[in-house]
Each structure stands twice: as structure tokens, then as C-alpha cells.
């Protein structure tokens, strides 16, 4: 990792930085799912999954969250010279035991159906051994479809994608801090809520769920493709109640929509460096990336100020761990944009409350509760 970025992370973790980096390379021991409580109960989902041989457990603090246990680490013994190179997103899925599909493949050597092939990242880090279900010739001429069944990976978690609960939209894979974020927002019937970075729909659908479909939600993301993914999530979960999904750049929402001082609550979960996401395959971010992202994130905060009602609430969250993208952005929001930081009605469990130059926020640390790194702050106008 770049020295400047290491220095930035040291501002938060100090002498524990090496321990943090090691933790980030490994997945948490718990893989979380959110229960769609508008369709079912947590107890019913746990029972349904158990009937299919998948044991899940209720979270101790969050009443619509359940988790599966992640096993490992295990050694990969593939005994082959054949390799397939995949992108980082696919590598993380394979690392956790998922099968190999065509879209994530970047390069390969020739293979036939039934071969054992070692799957690696771009820097040659092994992530899985797969048994191919097709030949390289057929894979070349395909854009999607199964290419290999994962037979060895460093970590294993039960697959839920083919379960009845998943197919019926009764559960949604989501990190625990992300689930908690919507509880912090605390949507109420009749409120106008704007989700400024809505795709793929985890938090938008949760807002609908928590308000029993009685909020008015404007869900925005920057492209038609992202909004299509958002709508697909809402339809799958049956949580497309009172949601207006718009493809637009929400940094200009105050100019493009007639919403001056109209929103009761706003959620900003902007693009970030993702340095809290676990496991991290490659630490390839630079300090220049962090600075650019921080400046980008501030544009959402600036636009939101114009559309938030006086007395309205804004929840800002990221899945990263740098101060520039978290505490420094909230300090900017208070000092330059004239927001106030406030205490949430729902105090985030598992998070450490932090105070920094007069502002407050909440950090989820991989070191304290074996969670992803994550940050939440609550602002008012």
C-alpha cells in the first residue's frame, strides 16, 4: 500500500495499523442477510433455511438481521498448471466459495470441460480451484453462464442464491453496518426521503420496509443501468411502494428538481474507496484517489443542503475507513455548509462513537467486532 495512504490510515488506527491490514485481508466470521419483514418474520426465514440445510442465526442487536457462519481459512491444493485470471470483484466471490461465471474472467489458458483449473487474481494470488463445466472454446464465445464449480477456496459460506427464501425475496444479502444505517435514518410514514446514491437498492428497499411503504422515496443514481438494477431489487423484494427512481446526477438535484427545502430526510452513501470492505484482494488505492473521492463526496453534501427541510435529518455513510472521506467531510459539512451533527434516535450498535474537532460520528472497526470498516454520521439543517 502507498506510504501516503498508510499515513492517512494511521491517523485512525495508529500502532494497530498492521493488525488492521491483516484483518482487512480476511472476511468477517459472519455473513449477514436482511430479513424482508414486510413479507415474513425472522423466525420463519431461519426455519425455512434450516429445512434446506443452511443454519442461520439471529443477530443479537438488530431485529431484522440474521447471519451465516464463514468457515476457514483452508489451503488450496489444485495440482494443475492451468490458470484462469479474474477481476477483483469475482475473486472475492470465489474466495468465499462462489462458483465461477463468465463475466468476471479476464484471461485463461486452454481448458476442457471437467478440467481442474486454479483461479487467480491479476497479481497471481490464488483464490479458488474450480472444475470447469465447459471448454475455453465455448467460454470465449459466451458473455455469461457458469464456467466452473468451486471445489476448493480459502473460505466457505453456505450459498443462499438458490434457496426458497432468496428466490421469494424474503432475504437480502447486506452487511450489518449497512442494515444499521437505515435504522439510524429511522424513516417514518408520510416523510419525503431522498436516497441520493440508491443503486443497487439495499438501503432504498430497507427504507420502504421500515416505513411499511408509507414514506415517499425519491431514489437517485447516475445512470439508466444503475436505476434498472435498483428497480430490479425493489421488484424482487416486493418493496417498490411509493418509490420514484430517477437516473440523474444527484450532485445537481437542487438545480434539476423543484425540491428546495422539501426533504424530511436524506441518505447519502456516496462512491468511496471501499477500504472497509472485507476481504480486500489488493490494496491498490492511492492517496490521490482518496483526495478526489473526498472532494466528490462533498458535492453531494452541498447539493443536499438545498433540498433538506430546516430541521431535517441527513445520514451520511461510507464503507471506508479514511478520515478524509469520513470525519473530514463531516467537519466540512458543519463548518462550510452550516449543518449540525446530532445524536440519532437509534444509536448504532457495535459502533464506536467518535468526537473529532467538535463533530460526532460512529465508526465500525474490523478490530473490535470483526465487522467491515464503516462510518455513519447524522446531520441536521
Instruction: Look up residue 18 and give its three cell numbers.
Output: 498492521
CA distances from 15 to 11, 28, 180 (A): 10, 22, 29
Q: Which helix (H) or strand (E) is 150 found in, with range?
A: strand 146-152
Give the active site residues. Answer: 319
The pLDDT of residue 84 is 96
What kind and span of H or E run contains 331? helix 327-335
Query: What kind and span of H or E run contains 362?
Result: strand 359-364
- What is the Cα–Cα distance from 223 to 199, expressed in whole angstroms? 10
Q: What is the DSSP letter of 122?
A: T
Domain 171-380 homologous superfamily, CATH: Vaccinia Virus protein VP39 (3.40.50.150)
- The pLDDT of residue 1: 87
pLDDT at 140: 85
Task: State how far the Cα of 219 lies from the Cα of 203, in Å rounded to an integer.
Answer: 10
Residues in CB range of 227: below 8 A, 6 or more apart: 198, 199, 219, 221, 245, 246, 247
Do domains 83-152 and 171-380 share one topology? The answer is: no
Confirm if 121 and 282 have CB atoms less than 8 A apart: yes
Under DSSP, is residue 185 helix (H, G, I), strand (E, B) or coil? helix
Report, in this order, helix, strand and coil percent for the chain, each rounded to 5.
Answer: 35, 25, 40
CA–CA distance, 148 with 156 (Å, rounded to integer) = 16
Quote the pLDDT of residue 171.
98
Beta carbons within 10 angstroms of residue 215's beta carbon = 22
181 by Cβ neighbours in 10 Å (0-12 / 13-18 / 19+) ranks as buried
pLDDT at position 187 is 98
Residue 355 main-chain phi, psi, to 5 deg:
-125, 130
Q: Residue 360 pairs with which residues in a beta bridge?
A: 355
pLDDT tens-digit map of 324-336: 999 999 999 999 9
* Residue 282 pLDDT: 85
Q: Which residues face 313 on adjacent strands? A: 265, 380
Residue 349 class from Cβ within 10 Å (0-12 exposed, 13-18 middle, 19+ buried)? middle
Task: Tell which CATH architecture fits domain 83-152.
Answer: Roll (2.30)
SS3 363: strand
b/e per residue 307-342 (b: at least 16 CB within 10 A): bbbeebbbbbbbbbbbbbbbbbbbbbbbeeeebebe
pLDDT at 81: 92
Predicted confidence pLDDT, tens digits, the chain (381 residues): 899 999 999 999 999 999 999 999 999 999 999 999 999 999 999 999 999 999 999 999 999 999 999 999 999 999 999 999 999 989 999 999 999 999 999 998 899 999 999 999 999 999 999 999 999 989 888 889 999 999 999 999 988 988 999 999 999 999 999 999 999 999 999 999 999 999 999 999 999 999 999 999 999 999 999 999 999 999 999 999 999 999 999 999 999 999 999 999 999 999 999 999 999 988 889 999 999 999 999 999 999 999 999 999 999 999 999 999 999 999 999 999 999 999 999 999 999 999 999 999 999 999 999 999 999 999 999
Question: How far from 260 is each of 155, 218, 264, 304, 336, CA to CA, in Å?
Answer: 49, 14, 11, 9, 19
The pLDDT, as a whole number, for residue 143 is 87
Query: Domain spans of the chain?
Result: 83-152, 171-380
CA dihedral 96, 149, 139, 281 (to 10 degrees): 20
What pLDDT, on the 0 to 100 scale, is given for residue 161? 87
Amino acid at each position: 500500500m502507498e506510504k501516503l495512504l498508510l499515513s492517512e490510515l494511521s491517523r485512525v488506527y495508529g500502532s494497530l495499523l498492521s493488525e488492521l491490514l491483516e484483518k482487512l485481508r480476511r472476511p468477517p466470521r459472519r455473513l449477514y442477510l436482511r430479513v424482508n419483514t414486510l413479507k415474513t418474520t425472522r423466525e420463519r426465514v431461519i426455519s425455512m433455511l434450516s429445512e434446506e440445510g443452511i443454519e442461520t442465526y439471529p443477530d443479537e442487536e438488530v431485529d431484522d438481521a440474521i447471519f451465516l457462519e464463514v468457515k476457514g481459512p483452508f489451503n488450496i491444493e489444485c495440482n494443475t498448471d492451468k490458470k484462469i485470471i479474474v477481476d477483483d470483484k469475482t475473486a472475492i466471490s470465489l474466495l468465499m466459495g462462489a462458483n465461477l461465471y463468465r463475466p468476471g474472467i479476464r484471461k485463461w489458458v486452454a481448458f476442457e470441460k471437467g478440467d481442474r483449473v486454479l483461479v487467480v487474481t491479476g497479481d497471481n494470488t490464488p483464490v479458488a480451484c474450480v472444475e470447469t463445466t465447459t471448454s475455453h472454446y465455448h467460454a470465449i464465445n459466451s458473455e455469461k453462464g457458469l464456467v466452473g464449480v468451486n471445489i476448493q477456496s480459502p473460505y466457505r459460506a453456505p450459498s443462499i442464491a438458490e434457496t426458497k427464501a432468496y428466490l421469494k425475496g424474503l432475504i437480502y444479502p447486506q452487511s450489518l453496518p449497512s442494515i444499521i444505517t437505515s435504522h439510524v435514518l429511522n424513516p417514518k410514514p408520510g416523510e419525503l426521503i431522498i436516497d441520493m446514491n440508491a443503486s443497487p437498492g439495499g438501503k432504498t428497499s430497507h427504507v420502504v420496509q421500515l416505513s411499511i411503504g408509507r414514506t415517499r422515496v425519491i431514489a437517485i443514481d447516475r445512470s439508466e443501468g444503475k436505476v434498472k438494477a435498483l428497480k430490479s431489487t425493489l421488484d424482487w423484494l416486493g418493496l417498490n411502494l411509493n418509490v420514484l427512481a430517477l437516473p440523474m446526477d444527484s450532485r445537481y438535484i437542487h438545480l434539476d428538481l423543484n425540491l428546495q427545502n422539501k426533504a424530511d430526510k436524506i441518505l447519502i452513501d456516496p462512491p468511496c474507496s471501499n477500504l472497509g470492505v472485507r476481504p480486500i484482494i489488493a490494496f491498490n488505492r492511492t492517496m490521490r484517489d482518496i483526495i478526489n473521492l473526498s472532494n466528490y463526496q462533498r458535492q453531494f453534501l452541498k447539493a443536499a443542503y438545498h433540498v433538506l427541510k430546516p430541521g431535517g435529518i441527513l445520514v451520511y455513510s461510507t464503507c471506508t475507513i479514511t478520515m478524509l472521506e469520513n470525519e473530514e467531510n463531516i467537519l466540512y459539512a458543519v463548518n462550510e455548509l452550516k449543518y449540525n451533527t446530532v445524536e440519532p434516535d437509534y444509536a448504532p450498535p457495535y459502533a464506536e462513537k467518535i468526537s473529532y474537532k467538535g463533530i460526532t460520528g460512529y465508526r465500525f472497526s474490523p478490530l473490535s467486532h470483526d465487522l467491515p470498516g464503516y462510518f455513519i454520521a447524522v446531520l441536521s439543517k
